[in-house]
Structure 1
């Protein structure tokens, strides 16, 4: 008892401190329980929040790309502020609206057909009454020749080893000489061709073209390199033809125009 009397104040203080510690511990558990309760309420009434979608900057990137490129303004054919619509009257009195600038002139011409021109050789007959060697009658035609009279079929009489100047040389005969199965021809450039009996040998030597110019109702067939055309107030020379294109040369300004064949 004497101990209690001497230290009762300390004992009371210790009890009070222990009580305070207990209160603090209890408050901590109460706070945690209250937080859990509030979290449960948010989940129950509002649901769990969804994550934000990935941020898309595609519009901003596109805008930056546009800003990095210079803006192109077309003040040429398609612009009607500085280039008002023009109309042109043909020689027949027809009015044509010029929208693209190609409604008249060489680009308004249309290639309707391109034809192959052949160089052909055919064995027509064999003559055996002209000495020891037979004479072979060859029909030669060059459809690509520059002059009309040169395009006709020409017959040549030739024996083995002989040459037709500027055309070919008969270098070999296969089979009986009086009834050969084939002839071998050698051209001046070294090319060789085998001419079968009863069958013409031919190769493409050039092309001709058919052209139509609708604004003036002009139609030309069989145009060849060197031919001339007159339309749209100018004269044009045909300077080249291949299997896909025709090239015209304007006499007024020496400008070339390439027309494509679109079958």
Structure 2
């Protein structure tokens, strides 16, 4: 007893150390069991196969989408023009015209109703023999596309082999010189060689003239218009207050040029059905 009283601190320390050692041993022994318990939890909870969900019923949503796709579309632009109202223009007769596409009035509304080709026509009118024994041919030339009216009528001129005239050169005579079956003419402007006989004259397209009108003003119609029509000094071509000149015509279209700014507008040939 006396021993304990003298050394109780050491005894108490030894008991504490013994308890700590026992606790340490107990922890070491618990680790495998705890690890096994954790693994079991993983297998039973985390790795547990989930229950398969039933398939989603999207019938209601599909029906709504189908209804939306088939719903009527309210068009407030192309026809009703709620946000972009159409322009209305007053015509010379006092009526109002709705402008939908922009070409209902102005040069874009011009309708080309007829395009006629203009020919250069060359005919073999006669063949005679001169006193020196050479052949001379009377050939007629008609230029429908000439700029001046005085130059459009038929004009006859004599021509001999290889002698250059205003329009052509006779390069070859086939058959009898005083009654040839065919002459071969070389054209001065193009260099083309063309056959000519009494039965078959040369007809070459050298231009066009056109008829066109302006439907918004029924009184405005132009017939037999050629390139240059509407130029200063000629009868004016006035469309929607703007003056125009015919600057080109081919078999498919007429090109009008505004005198104010030289802006060119082609109008297609639209023959009546």
- Normalising by structure 2, we get a TM-score of 0.64
Which of 69, 88, 100 is the equivalent residue of 2:90? 88
Query: Who is 1:253 aligned against?
Result: 261
- Matched position secondary structure for 2:265: strand
Do 2:77 and 2:84's aligned partners in 1 also have CA atoms closer than 8 Å?
no
Query: Who is 1:181 aligned against?
Result: 181
Do 1:112 and 1:210's aligned partners in 2 also have CA atoms closer than 8 Å?
yes
State how far apart, in whole Å, the 1-side matches of 2:131 and 2:212 are: 50
Query: Who is 1:24 aligned against?
Result: none
Shift of 1:84: 4.2
- Matched position secondary structure for 1:152: coil
Query: Who is 1:53 aligned against?
Result: none
- Do structure 1's residue 109 and structure 2's residue 110 form an aligned pair? yes
Shift of 1:94: 3.4
State how far apart, in whole Å, the 1-side matches of 2:191 and 2:132 are: 29
Do 1:86 and 1:99's aligned partners in 2 also have CA atoms closer than 8 Å?
yes
Shift of 1:234: 1.0
How far does the alpha carbon of each residue in 1:73-102 deviate from its partner, in whole angstroms, 9 at most, with x for none?
969x98453444313131xx3323132232
Shift of 1:118: 0.8
Shift of 1:180: 0.4
Query: Who is 2:228 aligned against?
Result: 226
- Gaps of at least 5 residues in structure 2 are 1-61, 70-75, 231-236
Runs of 4+ in 1 over 4 A off after TM superposition: none
Flag the 1:129–1:99 CA change in 2: closer, same or farther, 3 A. same
Which of 217, 230, 252 is the equivalent residue of 1:244? 252
Flag the 1:209–1:176 CA change in 2: closer, same or farther, 3 A. same
State how far apart, in whole Å, the 1-side matches of 2:254 and 2:108 are: 11
Do 1:96 and 1:103's aligned partners in 2 also have CA atoms closer than 8 Å?
no
Query: Who is 1:151 aligned against?
Result: 152
Shift of 1:223: 1.0
- Matched position secondary structure for 1:111: strand
State how far apart, in whole Å, the 2-side matches of 1:113 and 1:88 are: 29
State how far apart, in whole Å, the 1-side matches of 2:113 and 2:212 are: 6
- Gaps of at least 5 residues in structure 1 are 1-55, 64-72
Flag the 1:79–1:131 CA change in 2: closer, same or farther, 3 A. farther
- Normalising by structure 1, we get a TM-score of 0.66
Count of aligned residue pairs for this structure pair: 194
Flag the 1:157–1:74 CA change in 2: closer, same or farther, 3 A. farther
Query: Who is 1:127 aligned against?
Result: 128
Shift of 1:131: 3.3
Do 2:86 and 2:98's aligned partners in 1 also have CA atoms closer than 8 Å?
no
Shift of 1:200: 1.1
Do 1:125 and 1:137's aligned partners in 2 also have CA atoms closer than 8 Å?
yes
Query: Who is 2:97 aligned against?
Result: 97
How far does the alpha carbon of each residue in 1:223-245 deviate from its partner, in whole angstroms, 9 at most, with x for none?
11111112211110111111111
Query: Who is 1:235 aligned against?
Result: 243
Shift of 1:198: 2.3
State how far apart, in whole Å, the 2-side matches of 1:215 and 1:173 are: 57
- Matched position secondary structure for 2:132: coil
